[in-house]
Amino acid sequence: MLKLEGDIRIPSGCAIAAVMNRSAERFDGHTIIASIATMHKRSNGLGGGFAAYGIYPEYRDYYALHVFYDDDGARQMCERYLQHHFRIKDREPVPVRRTRKITDAPLIWRYFAVPREDRLYREQLGEEDFVARVMMTINSDLRGAFVASSGKDMAAFKGVGYPEDIGEFFRLEEYQAYLWTAHGRFPTNTPGWWGGAHPFTLLNWSVVHNGEISSYSTNRRYLEMYGYKISLQTDTEVIAYAFDFLMRQQGLSLEDTIDVIAAPFWSNLEQEKQAHLRRKYAGLLLNGPFSIIVATNNGLMAVNDRIKLRPLVAATRDEFLYVASEESAIRAVAPVLDRVWSPGGGEPIIGLLYNKKGLLEASPVGLQTDAQSA
């Protein structure tokens, strides 16, 4: 029997794309679907997905939990578990469109919820740590349940199929978001599991990723030291946790974080601080080919591995920032652009909403330059 993602490690190639409006004006899912569909050949129908930010303004203060279930039994078990930890304001199945191209879909539910005060108190955890911990426990311990996303005012829509078909299945044209990311997957072998598709998320973080990091085991074992439960055996999961650890837990700025994951070579280090970062977080250097787009409610960051072993192109037009594996995917939705460029290895593209200072509000400042670079 073929093993599920998480039981074994499955390397995969991919296409990635993102579109954002920096004034936080929302637009529907047509654009991102058209963009990722241009790169159809970069995926093989075994995984596609989207992250959308700004889609649940009416539930802005609630964690939007999107959960996959193998069956109704799993749903009941998981809901009991959720109720134990959360006050759930609303719950419903995620609306989907029946299409011939998408088969074997799990049950997909969403919950708008906040942690129960008494549980927070008892666990002695901050709210975000608490939510992250509960979500990781569901994914690693509750059979048949998988949390696809758990952030506020955002969600991940993903599954087994080509990304454009997944978009159609999830009726993304009915959602309005100011930031969309997308992923088309080319896994080298997999029975196809909905949880294994991208984006991978944790709280508000979402990551779409193209590549196979050769440092996976080093990175994974590093994160495990800090309590992260790695359940999927995918590079993407590790990348998401790396960002969460460095920025949220260690309080690094985005620039410092990039100096860790795509560290400059020793011979190119300019500041003692970068050397310290490299030494201290040596286990989080992401080594091997990758291009990633990391998004939060405040904006996105896209970056390549330090020797640029994967394609990545960025472009701007007015308020819009586009990022994709191939320029064609940008030209398909925005033929006329102000600027198009291909960033070097380890050189981040940072796109923030105009009123935001960092991907995480709490991050140390030092990101003003980002506004110009994007």
Partner 1 sequence: MTLSMLTPAFTVGRNEERCIRCGVCVNQCINEVHHLDEDGFMWVTDKNCVGCHRCAVLCPTQALAITEFPLAFRPNNYWSSASLREIYAQAETGGVLLTGMGNPRPYRSYFDHLLLNASQVTNPSIDPLREPMELTTYLGNQAAMLGEREKPLLKLEVPVMFSAMSYGAVSLNVQKSLARAAREMATFWNTGEGGLHSDLKEYADSTIVQVASGRFGVTPDYLNNAAAVEIKIGQGAKPGIGGHLPAEKVSADVAKTRMIPAWSDAISPAPHHDIYSIEDLAQLIETLKVATNYQKPVSVKVAAVHNISAIASGMVRAGADIVAIDGFRGATGAAPMRIRDNIGIPIEMAIAQVDQRLRDEGIRQSVSLVAAGGIRNSADVVKILALGADAVYIGTAALIALGCHLCQTCFTGRCNWGIATTDRQLSKRLNPEIGAIRAINLLKAWEHEIKEMMGGMGINAVDSLRGNRLMLKGIGLEQHELELLGVTAAGD
Q: Give the active site residues.
A: 14
> Closest distance between partner 1 and the C-beta of residue 293, in Å?
19
Nearer to partner 1, 115 or 211 (CB): 211
289 binds partner 1 (CB under 8 A): yes
Backbone Cα Rg of the chain: 19
Nearer to partner 1, 213 or 374 (CB): 213
Near partner 1 by CB under 8 A: residue from 225, 336, 362, 365: 225
Element (DSSP H or E) covering residue 258: helix 254-261
> Closest distance between partner 1 and the C-beta of residue 288, in Å?
5
Distance CA 304, CA 223 (A): 21
Nearer to partner 1, 176 or 287 (CB): 287
> Closest distance between partner 1 and the C-beta of residue 69, in Å?
30
> Closest distance between partner 1 and the C-beta of residue 78, in Å?
29
Residue type, 299: G
**Cβ neighbour number for residue 67 with a 10 Å cutoff:** 27
13 binds partner 1 (CB under 8 A): yes
Near partner 1 by CB under 8 A: residue from 115, 163, 211, 351: 211
Near partner 1 by CB under 8 A: residue from 98, 100, 122, 279: 279
Q: Which residues pair with 187 in a beta bridge?
A: 12
Near partner 1 by CB under 8 A: residue from 124, 267, 355, 372: 267
Q: Specify the stretch interacting with partner 1 by CB under 8 A; choose among 59-67, 144-152, 160-168, 259-267.
A: 259-267
Distance CA 157, CA 373 (A): 29
Task: Give backbone dihedrals phi and psi of 158, rounded to 5 degrees, phi first.
Answer: -150, 160
Near partner 1 by CB under 8 A: residue from 83, 176, 250, 373: 250
307 binds partner 1 (CB under 8 A): yes
Near partner 1 by CB under 8 A: residue from 57, 92, 122, 266: 266
- Using DSSP, state whether 149 is helix, strand or coil: strand
97 binds partner 1 (CB under 8 A): no
∠ CA 196-313-148, nearest 5°, is 20
Tokens of 281: 């977080």
Nearest to 258 by CA among 349, 352, 141: 349
9 binds partner 1 (CB under 8 A): yes
2 binds partner 1 (CB under 8 A): no
- Using DSSP, state whether 370 is helix, strand or coil: helix
101 binds partner 1 (CB under 8 A): no
215 binds partner 1 (CB under 8 A): yes
> Closest distance between partner 1 and the C-beta of residue 149, in Å?
27
> Closest distance between partner 1 and the C-beta of residue 268, in Å?
9
Question: C-alpha dihedral over 164, 292, 322, 25, to 10 degrees?
Answer: 80
4 binds partner 1 (CB under 8 A): no
Buried residues in 278-310 as b, exposed as e (16+ CB within 10 A): beebeebbbbbbbbbbbbbbbbbbbbbbbebeb
- Using DSSP, state whether 87 is helix, strand or coil: strand
**DSSP characters over 202-255:** ETTEEEEEEE--TTHHHHHHHHHHTT----S--HHHHHHHHHIIIIIIS---HH
Q: Specify the stretch interacting with partner 1 by CB under 8 A; choose among 136-144, 208-216, 333-341, 350-358.
A: 208-216
Rule CB under 8 A: which residues touch partner 1?
Answer: 9, 11-13, 188, 211-219, 221-222, 224-226, 250, 252, 256, 263, 265-267, 273, 276-280, 282-283, 285, 287-289, 306-307, 309
